[in-house]
Amino acid sequence: MRYISHVMKTPEILSPAGNREHLETACLYGAEAVYLGVRGDTNLRAGARNFSLDELAWAVSHAHARGVRVYLTLNTYPHDAQMDGLPEIIHHAREIGVDAVIVSDIGVLSLVKEIAPDMTIHLSTQANTVNSRAIRAWAGLGVGRVILARELSFGEISRMRAISPVELEIFVHGSMCISISGRCLISNYLCSRDANQGRCTQPCRWDYALVERSRQGEYMPVEERDGYTFLYNSKDLCLIPVMDRVMALGVDGLKIEGRGRTALYIATAVQTYRKARDAYLNDPQGFAVNPEWMQELGMISNRGYFTGFFLGNPDERGVNYDFAGYDHTHHLAAKVRATKGEHTVFEARNPLIEGMEGEWLSSKGFSRKIDFRDMAVDGCRKERIRPNEIFEMETGFAPLPGELVRKPYSEGDKVVQMREETCMPIRRGQAHE
């Protein structure tokens, strides 16, 4: 059965932005909106680098100059003492032109309405909105967009969209929490770090062994791998395989999870979902999922993929019982800093050795093989490049600053001996000043 939208809405692709580099990458690779937080305990990714208030002003300016909207997350459930810092943040957000704030708590919502009555408010998925009456109730309180709970099926979302008085947004990619809408106490119980204050330690991803009280130190034979078992460990959400149904919903936002992920993750996920969305918009009748999209997503860090609740309540196939670490085939080799004629200046992000093969990810939506050869640092040839080292080499084409080069990942990358090398001056004509 082919799913065709009668609304033909163009949902925006929303990217996480856990720091400045993430925001720049999201803007470059096709995001139409980013969501981010300021440092402190006002957002649910307190462990991310996040932004100071001054950096937030830069972020809004940078994004708006590229036609990208900025949504500020104020989505924790703060206690009274934690409410004190919010007025300053809300005032600042209004002054610098933040496009919307994302809230979970009704007290925070009322504070935003009081301080910045014209500010657009999005309701976080943490509020666990799973029915149409709740949507209408939140709309009556001034919410302009509801980010729906992940625990909803295509049919449920479709019915909500048909009668919703406000915009709707859904998650399409990223981590799935084992608790309802992420409102979990396991981390607080085990580690005294509250998930609802943005400090989750993800104990649902840990591997556990069973110990009987009177036999301390003896592991009981309840095991799946190497004496341990995974009790929860959801796979990651990925809705690319059902993108025609996603588009047929007519929602306003397609959200990618991952403020704690890497720039390569953001570039790959954003670009892939934008390709899929645009392919549907260009030809709804002839739309088909391109196998290359899933191949791309398989290259970045994941725990295996499934479609969550979108096709109905997930069964045991939604849990990765064979989990032995995050899956990914590639990682970030280098980032483009500048171009000099046919030479490109890079910043290495992982050890590089003469002859390694990488792949340049153009922000225009294609990729190109690239060999790491004749690398130079300060005019001297080097066969080995350290992480964070600035080097240049001839590329024969001019990538844009900020674009990324990935390479196949291997465990050996972590232990490559980076020896000092004798300077080998570049021959005349090789380097462009």
Residue 94 to residue 112: CA distance in whole angstroms: 10
Calculate helix-pair angle for 86-96, 106-115, nearest 10 degrees. 50
Whether residue 340 is found in the same domain as residue 376:
yes
As a residue count, the chain comes to 433
Domain presence at residue 276: yes
| Domain span holding position 145 | 12-176+234-318
For residues 348-353, give the mean pLDDT.
Answer: 94
Q: Taking a C-beta distance cutoff of 8 angstroms, is the pair 307, 241 a contact? A: yes
Query: Which residue, among 250, 411, 249, 245, has the nearest Cα to 325 in the 3D structure?
Result: 411
- Whether residue 325 is contained in a domain is answered as no
Distance CA 231, CA 54 (A): 42
Task: Label residue 424 by pLDDT band (50, 70, 90).
Answer: low
Model confidence at 177: pLDDT above 90 = no
Task: Report DSSP letters for 207-227, one per residue.
Answer: -B--B-TTSTTPBPS--SBTT
- Confidence bin at 416 (pLDDT 50/70/90): very low
Specify if 212 maps to a domain: yes
For β-strands 367-371 and 357-361, DSSP reports them as antiparallel
Q: Based on the fold, state whether residues 219 and 275 are members of the same structural domain.
A: no
pLDDT band at 205 (very low <50, low <70, confident <90, very high): low
Indicate whether 2 belongs to any domain: no
| Co-location of 27 and 84 in the same domain | yes
Token pair listed for 165: 């008085």
Which of the listed residues 168, 203, 232 is the one where a domain comes to its end? 232
Look at residue 274 and tell me if it is in a domain: yes
Do residues 222 and 241 both lie within one domain?
no
Provide the whole-model pTM: 0.86
Which of 285, 318, 351 represents a domain boundary (last residue)? 318
At 403, which CATH number?
2.40.30.10
The mean pLDDT value for 384-409 works out to 94
- 124 neighbors 103 (Cβ within 8 angstroms): yes
Position 166 in a domain: yes
- For the record, the structure tokens of 423 come out as 């300077």
Number of domains making up the chain: 3
pLDDT, tens digit, 9 for 90 and up, residues 44-66: 655 567 899 999 999 999 999 99
Using CA atoms, how far apart are residues 282 and 269, in angstroms rounded to an integer?
20
Co-location of 215 and 340 in the same domain: no
Are residues 271 and 306 part of one domain? yes
pLDDT tens digit string along 83-139?
999 999 999 999 999 999 999 999 999 999 999 999 999 999 999 999 999 999 999
282 and 410 in a single domain? The answer is no
Report helix, strand or coil for 54: helix
What single-letter amino acid sits at 166? V
Do 90 and 150 belong together in one domain? yes
Query: Distance between CA atoms of 331 and 337, rounded to whole angstroms?
Result: 18
- For 304, residues 6+ apart whose C-beta sits below 8 A from its C-beta are 235, 236, 320, 323, 327
Here the CATH number for the domain that contains residue 108 is 3.20.20.70
Looking at the fold, whether 242 and 279 belong to one and the same domain comes out as yes
Q: Has residue 3 been placed in a domain?
A: no
Say whether both 386 and 267 belong to one domain.
no
Question: Is the residue at 383 inside a domain?
Answer: yes
For position 430, what pLDDT does the model report? 38
Residue 286 φ then ψ, to 5°: -100, 10
Question: Looking at the structure, do residues 160 and 256 belong to the same domain, yes or no?
Answer: yes
pLDDT at position 303 is 85
Instruction: For residue 319, give both structure tokens.
Output: 């849990």
| 301 and 413 together in one domain | no
